[in-house]
Amino acid sequence: MEVDEKIEFALSLADRMVEEMLRDSREPKKDLENLSNELAKIIDFLKVKDFESSLELSNYLSKSPMLRSRPQKSYGVINRVLREERDKLPADFILEILGYVRRILIYKSMVVSKTHLKKRKRR
């Protein structure tokens, strides 16, 4: 898999995560920042465990009463998108692709507040 293909795949994953995370969002910047932070934790866990264990962890945390609603939602989004796309994720490049996804989420969190505000003003 070439770098361009990895980035393209990461963009599609990030777009799906953003779309799901921002559904009914009142604070898009905070939601995307949190999504990026929680994905970083899953990436760190993936460095020491396998992909299935990372999915189990994200599923568990999405339902954990110890977490507030925003982190729960973030873990739920991460879990759903990665489960749906796991067959397409090449095992050799999971960490690299998820690293790209995280960078894309950071970028989108910086620009989303401006576009979200513009959309609100139009209404």
pLDDT tens digits along 64-107: 999 999 999 999 999 999 999 999 998 899 999 999 999 999 99
Distance of CA 2 to the CA centre of its chain: 22
Mean pLDDT, the chain, rounded, equals 92
Domain holding 113, by residue range, is: 3-122
The yes-or-no verdict on residue 123 having pLDDT over 60 is: no
CB 70 within 8 A of CB 37: no
pLDDT-derived band of residue 1, with 50, 70 and 90 as boundaries?
A: confident
Digit-coded pLDDT (tens) for 6-19 = 999 999 999 999 99
- Global pTM value: 0.89
| Structural domains of the chain, count | 1
